[in-house]
Amino acid sequence: MSAVVTDHEHDHEHHDHKPSGIKRWLYTTNHKDIGTMYLVFALIMFFIGGAMAMVIRAELFQPGMQFVEPNFFNQMTTVHGLIMVFGAVMPAFTGLANWMIPMMIGAPDMALPRMNNWSFWILPFAFLILLMSLFMPGGGPSFGWTFYAPLSTTYSSDSTALFVFSVHIMGISSIMGAINVIVTIFNLRAPGMTWMKMPLFVWTWLITAFLLIMVMPVLAGVVTMVLTDKYFGTSFFDAAGGGDPVLFQHIFWFFGHPEVYIMILPAFGIVSAIVPTFARKPLFGYASMVYATSSIALLSFLVWAHHMFTTGMPVAGALFFMYCTMLIAVPTGVKVFNWVATMWRGAMTFEVPMMFALAFIVLFTIGGFSGLMLAITPADFQYHDTYFVVAHFHYVLVTGAVFSIIAAAYYWLPKWTGHMYDEKLGQWHFWCSLISVNLLFFPMHFVGLAGMPRRIPDYALQFADFNAFISIGGFLFGASQLIFVWVLVKCARGGEKATAQVWEGAEGLEWQVPSPAPYHTFDTPPVIK
């Protein structure tokens, strides 16, 4: 990617004192450079985590143990989850925030540029530690990304300390990133950029950043307790010493459920930017979108125990969490209705970003429906910890979060590189992804309803045909993403020159600066009408 930006240095109106080569990237405090690094890092992690998914699907292709040992299989499911959540989806959103938020609110850079550099550069080390732990005797973490105690304490391998350390670093990185986003949005908005004029991507990210600050420290706390329980003789989660293993789940999901929204709220912002652009019609209910996002964020603190219905809780507790969870469907519905109403009587075109956004709306909604089904406590007893849940959260996270990130990449790529991407190749990427992702995840609903538990390396014969089918879908989806890399490389190297406006219907400050966006933008704040 470095070639891209250096190509266009002569375009700059400013004279930039930036070092060349690796030093530029190590020392950079420029939000665009840091954004690029986050995005490239997320892409690399997406492929590493994806490779692990391929191992999982290869083992599950047929019943019986073929390629890996059960213990290694558990490490794959665990690290796949950790990498995709903390290494791919979250850094990708942070990268988009870095690139776009200053340009969208008319700020020259992020408010705390040096901290910004730090928050990125500690991240590769976190994942290096996590990946290296796989090569320790006894292997890496094998207790699922949810690391339930006491499986992660008394019964885990010695690499658990590395896992804890790595999660701490990821947490610090996210918290610093979130602080930066909030300070930038609070202090650096251009004159006239009032709260209710901010683009929805900025709004959703602001709320996400608050969620991050509220819950990432709780995650840091719970991994610390795991560490002290395992190595220093405390008994937070050990019944023998007066602790309670269920307490772990309460603390974890107090973090975990808002975390789910951390991974989807920015996606709402992206789709809310793309749909009006390609429908050439303003977003139907801007204010109600803002309120819906806020209420989803608030409700996310009241629903954590819906992950724990089978742990044994009083009926009153189960009912409370069931009702609150069902309630979340209301603001989520408001969002989907808004997008559809935005399309209604617009003049739509279907470039790749719009295609991914449309797929997002349909497939995320399917994930939302299965989420609503999971909220019904008695039915959850049958769905819980089966492939139905796996199908649910992959619909929400892959065809939800990941599709929105891909849509955002296509949408803003011309702004970043100054070139249009290859539309034909992009359409290929879209259709291959759309078909294969559904081959991959849709049958998981059936397998789960039929009774296949999740996180198992081997299964009963009745599930064999469906799993073979799912695995083929998985390999195809993995391969389809190679087209994406091809598109990105091709677009970075050259292509049809992009205008400042890029998309006919696009609105917002980022489309007022030239394409590619100069190294420094909005040194003097723009005037907002």
Partner 1 sequence: MTKTRSLRWSLPALLLAATANATDMPLNMTKGVTEISQQVYDLHMTIFWICCAIGAVVFGAMFWSILRHRKARGVQPAQFHESTKVEILWTAIPVVILILMAIPATKTLIAMEDTTEADVTVLVTGSQWKWHYKYLNTDVEFYSLLATPKEQINNRFAKGENYLLEVDRPLVIPTGKKVRFLMTSDDVIHSWWVPAFAVKKDANPGFINEAWTRVEEPGIYRGQCAELCGKDHAFMPVVVIAKTPADYEQWLNGEAERIAKAKAEEQELLAMNMSMDELMSVGERTYIAYCAACHQPNGEGLAGIFPALKGSSMALNDMAGHIDIVLNGKAGTSMQAYAKQLSLKEIAAVITYERNAWGNNTGELVQAADVHAVLQGKGE
Partner 2 sequence: MALRHKPLTVKLAVTALAMFGFGFALVPLYDVFCDLTGLNGKTAATAASAEAAMIDTSRQVVIEFVARPNKQMPWVFKPEVSRMTVHPGEIHIMNYLAENPTGRMIVGQAVPSVSPGQAALYFHKIECFCFTQQQLAGGKNMLMPLQFYVDPALPSQFSTITLSYTLYDVTNAWQDSSAVSTQPGE
Q: Which residues are catalytic?
A: 80, 109, 145, 173-174, 257, 259, 261, 272, 306-307, 332, 335, 454
Q: How far apart (Å, rounded) are the C-alpha atoms in residues 293 and 4? A: 36
d(CA 96, CA 21) in angstroms, rounded, equals 23
Residue 157 interacts, among partner 2, partner 1, none and using kind-specific CB cut-offs from 5 to 8 Å, with partner 1
Question: How many residues form the binding site for partner 2 (CB under 8 A)?
Answer: 39
How large is the C-alpha radius of gyration of the chain? 23
Contacts of partner 2 in 166-185 (CB under 8 A): 175, 178-179, 182-183
Give yes or no for a contact between 96 and 405, defined as CB atoms under 8 angstroms apart. Answer: yes
Return the half-sphere exposure (C-beta side, CA atoms, 13 A cut-off) of residue 52. 20
Please state the length of the chain: 529
Query: Helices in 159-244 by DSSP H: which ranges?
Result: 160-187, 200-231
The partner in contact with residue 285, picked from partner 2, partner 1, none with C-beta cut-offs of 5 to 8 angstroms by kind, is partner 1
- For residues 304-323, which are near partner 2 according to CB under 8 A? 312-314, 316-317
Closest to 174 measured CA to CA, from 99, 116, 260, 132 = 116
For partner 2, give the closer residue by CB, 289 or 305: 305
Of these partners, partner 1, partner 2, none, which one is at the site of residue 67 (CB under 5 to 8 Å by kind)?
none
- State which of residues 344, 482, 489, 494 lies at the interface with partner 1 (CB under 8 A): 344
Residue with smaller CB distance to partner 1, 180 or 481: 481
Per-residue x/- marks for partner 1, 297-316, CB under 8 A? -------------xxx--x-
Enumerate residues 6+ apart whose C-beta is below 8 A from 147: 78, 141, 163, 223, 226, 252
Whichever of 172 and 297 has its CB closer to partner 1, that residue is: 297
Q: Is 461 one of the binding residues for partner 2 (CB under 8 A)?
A: no
Return the number of the residue (29 or 235) whose C-beta is nearest partner 1. 235
Whether the ω angle into residue 516 lies within 30 degrees of 0, i.e. cis, is yes
Smallest CA-to-CA distance from 463 within 525, 411, 390, 392 is with: 390
> Does 322 engage in binding with partner 1 (CB under 8 A)?
yes
Among 220, 318, 397, 447, binds partner 2 (CB under 8 A): 220
Neighbours of 3 (CB within 10 A): 8
**Direct distance between the N- and C-terminal alpha carbons of the chain, in angstroms, rounded to an integer:** 35
Q: Please choose which of partner 1, partner 2, none residue 464 contacts, taking the beta carbon within 5 to 8 angstroms, the exact cut-off set by kind.
A: partner 1
CB 103 to partner 1: min, Å: 24
Are the C-beta atoms of residues 311 and 249 closer than 8 Å to each other? yes
Give residue 179's identity as a one-letter amino acid code.
I
Query: What distance separates the 2 farthest-apart alpha carbons in the chain?
Result: 68
State yes or no: residue 112 binds partner 2 (CB under 8 A).
yes
353, 385, 328, 362: which is closest to 442 by C-alpha? 362
User: What is the distance between the alpha carbons of residues 259 and 119, in angstroms, rounded to a whole number?
Assistant: 18
Given partner 2, partner 1, none, residue 284, with its beta carbon under 5 to 8 Å by kind, binds: partner 1
- Give the sign of the dihedral formed by CA 342, CA 344, CA 348, CA 351: positive
Question: In whole angstroms, how close is the CB of 502 to partner 1 at the nearest point?
Answer: 16
By the 8 A CB rule, do 60 and 467 touch?
Answer: yes
The set of residues, in sequence order, having a beta carbon less than 8 Å from that of 529 and lying 6+ positions away, is 192
Shortest reach from residue 315's CB to partner 2, in Å = 9
Q: Does residue 480 belong to the site contacting partner 1 (CB under 8 A)?
A: no
Q: Quick count: other Cβ atoms within 10 Å of Cβ 53?
A: 22
Residues of span 225-254 touching partner 2 by CB under 8 A: 225, 233, 235-236, 239-242, 244, 246-247, 250-251, 254
317 binds, among partner 2, partner 1, none (CB under 5 to 8 A by kind): partner 2
- The interface with partner 2 within residues 369-388 (CB under 8 A) comprises none
Q: Report in angstroms how near the CB of residue 213 gets to partner 2 at its nearest.
A: 5
Q: At closest approach, how far in Å is the CB of 155 from partner 1?
A: 5
Q: CA 332 to CA 350: how far, in whole Å?
A: 24
Q: Does 187 bind partner 1 (CB under 8 A)?
A: no
Written as six digits, the tokens of 393 are 């959260």
User: Which residue stretch of 44-52, 162-170, 322-330, 400-408 sits at the interface with partner 1 (rule: CB under 8 A)?
Assistant: 322-330
Between residues 113 and 478, which has the closer beta carbon with respect to partner 2?
113
- The answer to whether 190 contacts partner 2 (rule: CB under 8 A) is no
Residue 195 touching partner 1 (CB under 8 A)? no
Q: Please give the Cα distance from 294 to 282 (Å, whole number).
A: 21
**Does 160 help bind partner 1 (rule: CB under 8 A)?**
no
Q: Does 525 bind partner 2 (CB under 8 A)?
A: no
Binding to partner 2, residues 72-111 (CB under 8 A): 111
Give the integer Cα–Cα distance in Å for 117 and 382: 46
CA 322: distance to chain centroid? 25
In contact, 185 and 101? CB cutoff 8 Å: yes
453 is a contact residue toward partner 1 (CB under 8 A):
yes
Considering beta carbons, is residue 168 or 415 the nearer one to partner 2? 168
Is 508 a binding residue for partner 1 by CB under 8 A? The answer is no
Distance, in Å, from the CA atom of 248 to the CA atom of 237, rounded to the nearest integer, reads 6
Task: Give the one entry of partner 1, partner 2, none that residue 217 binds, where binding means its C-beta sits below a cut-off of 5 to 8 angstroms depending on kind.
Answer: partner 2
Alpha carbon distance 170, 280 (integer Å): 39
Q: HSE on the CB side for 304, CA within 13 Å? A: 17
- Of 213 and 476, CB closest to partner 1: 476
Q: What, of partner 2, partner 1, none, does residue 366 touch, CB below 5 to 8 Å by kind? A: partner 1
Say whether residue 494 binds partner 1 (CB under 8 A).
no
Residues that bind partner 2 (CB under 8 A): 111-112, 175, 178-179, 182-183, 186-187, 213-222, 225, 233, 235-236, 239-242, 244, 246-247, 250-251, 254-255, 312-314, 316-317
